[in-house]
Amino acid sequence: DTAVSQTPKYLVTQMGNDKSIKCEQNLGHDTMYWYKQDSKKFLKIMFSYNNKELIINETVPNRFSPKSPDKAHLNLHINSLELGDSAVYFCASSPWGYEQYFGPGTRLTVT
């Protein structure tokens, strides 16, 4: 059983489009996160949700909107995609205040 899963694995789209990435965890954790990994492999947090409540919004453009329908899901919707949004996006989950477990990533390419 996959602990943290993301779909799609790859996403290629044109500038200006709107796209969503889905994340699900079956670990029973109450906290979920979105991270962005740039071309130099640097990982930076974007958002965190605890029990469906937004906890961290790390100065991310408001074109990015996370949605948590329940504790096991945290989706990321991106409006008006830009070239600079190209990156690998990772979802993660954890018990509050403990180690985080990452999904396999979604490689987003904006052309």
Partner 1 sequence: GQQLNQSPQSMFIQEGEDVSMNCTSSSIFNTWLWYKQDPGEGPVLLIALYKAGELTSNGRLTAQFGITRKDSFLNISASIPSDVGIYFCAGLTQGGSEKLVFGKGTKLTVNP
Among residues 28, 42, 62, 70, the one that binds partner 1 under rule CB under 8 A: 42
Total residues in contact with partner 1, by rule CB under 8 A: 26
What 3 state SS string does the chain have?
A: CCCEEEECCEEEECCCCCEEEEEEECCCCCEEEEEEECCCCCEEEEEEEECCEEEEECCCCCCEEEEEEECCEEEEEECCCCHHHCEEEEEEEECCCCCCEECCCEEEEEC
Q: How far is the CB of 25 from partner 1 (least distance, A)?
A: 12
Q: Which of residues 3-22 bind partner 1 (CB under 8 A)?
A: 4
Q: Could you say whether residue 40 binds partner 1 (CB under 8 A)?
A: yes
Q: Could you say whether residue 53 binds partner 1 (CB under 8 A)?
A: no
The token duo for 100 is 């985080």
CB 27 within 8 A of CB 3: yes
Beta bridge partners of 59: none
Q: Could you say whether residue 64 binds partner 1 (CB under 8 A)?
A: no
**Closer to partner 1 by Cβ: residue 26 or 79:** 26
Among residues 41, 62, 69, 83, the one that binds partner 1 under rule CB under 8 A: 41
Residues of this chain that interact with partner 1 (CB under 8 A) are 4, 31, 33, 40-45, 48, 55-56, 58, 90, 92, 94, 96-105
